[in-house]
Amino acid sequence: MYYHVDDELVPADEARVSVEDRGFLYGDAGFETCRAYGGAIFEWAAHRDRLARTCETLGMPGAAPADLRGRIDATLDRNDCGDAYVRVSVTRGVQPGKLTPDPEVDPTVVVIVKPLPRGGVNSKSVWDGPATVRTVDRRRIPEASVPAAAKTHNYLNGILARLDLRGTDADESLVRDLDGWVAEGATSNVFFVTDGRLLTPSLDGPILPGVTRTVVMDLADELGVPVETGQYEVSDVREADEAFLTNSTWEVRPVATVDGTQVGGGPVTDRLAQAFDRRVEACY
């Protein structure tokens, strides 16, 4: 495999960034995880715009290069990889060893790709089966501390939430905010279905505005499925008729159990997953 590091394609085992890079020292960087289908980046404009907003939040507007899409395409082409996981990172780069960043930014830009199964109709899922979910003690960082919409390299909150699963059979965490309301998974947005209504935590809470989350809500609207956002308790998810998780890699992944209670997918989940696959087909 070849990765794209600072405008140069290099073998993966030779890819390097400086130990003085602020992305390494402080997590001072933004990133996006995307899916490539047939060489096309799914919802690229949404990912590009969110990365730009993250860079603005971090005080480095314009750090994402104008030719970023070209760098992604070059990396996919070099690896002969049309269907892939794509991760783009933009750090503040190397600066003197102090916490306060300099206003002048020379960003480090890295593109990583890894092959994934083809998406779309009659595709094979990247996950082995429906998710087993468990509520964890770790809470989501409040908006007043770290803006939830900023997708940064500092993913310690999610890592700790996953560590809380040790000793269980779960493969995703259900994370609450400080007031106990359901927020999201460690790496996913949460949806559930009750009485035919599709519900998901509101972005008024510390929720990452997932790109796949938005697509699913748009698809639900097209299918005539009522969508509601709000504040929900764990019991609302645990007692739902259906539940599923979304992110760019998993797409739409049904939830098997929550805290050991059977939930499962269902007709609404299936309709949305099929609609999502049809949306992916438009990429090819």
Question: 276 in a domain, yes or no?
Answer: yes
Q: What is the pLDDT of residues 208-264, one digit of tens each?
A: 999 999 999 999 999 999 999 999 999 999 999 999 999 999 999 999 999 999 999
Whether residues 169 and 53 fall in one domain: no
Q: Which of 57, 80, 115 is the last residue of a domain?
A: 115
Q: What is the pLDDT of residues 22-65, one digit of tens each?
A: 999 999 999 999 999 999 999 999 999 999 999 999 999 999 99
The pLDDT value recorded for residue 235 is 98
Residue 136 domain boundaries: 131-281
The pLDDT value recorded for residue 96 is 86
CATH of the domain at 249: 3.20.10.10
Whether residues 183 and 226 fall in one domain: yes
Question: 207 in a domain, yes or no?
Answer: yes
Question: 126 in a domain, yes or no?
Answer: no
Question: 45 in a domain, yes or no?
Answer: yes
Question: Residue 168 to residues 123, 127, 163, 197, 279: CA-CA distances in angstroms?
Answer: 30, 18, 10, 31, 35
The answer to whether 165 and 134 have CB atoms below 8 angstroms apart is yes
The pLDDT value recorded for residue 124 is 87
Whether residues 183 and 68 fall in one domain: no
Q: How many domains does the chain have?
A: 2
Whether residues 88 and 139 fall in one domain: no
Whether residues 56 and 170 fall in one domain: no
In this prediction the pTM is: 0.96
H-helix segments, 128-261: 156-163, 211-223, 234-238
Q: What is the pLDDT of residues 66-115, one digit of tens each?
A: 999 999 999 999 999 999 999 999 999 999 889 999 999 999 999 999 99
Strand partners, 243: 192
Whether residues 139 and 277 fall in one domain: yes
Whether residues 174 and 222 fall in one domain: yes
Reported as a pLDDT band with limits 50, 70 and 90, residue 17 is very high
H-helix segments, the chain: 22-26, 44-57, 68-78, 156-163, 211-223, 234-238, 267-281
Question: 109 in a domain, yes or no?
Answer: yes
Whether residues 146 and 70 fall in one domain: no
Q: Which candidate, 228, 236, 136, places its Cα nearest to that of 186?
A: 136
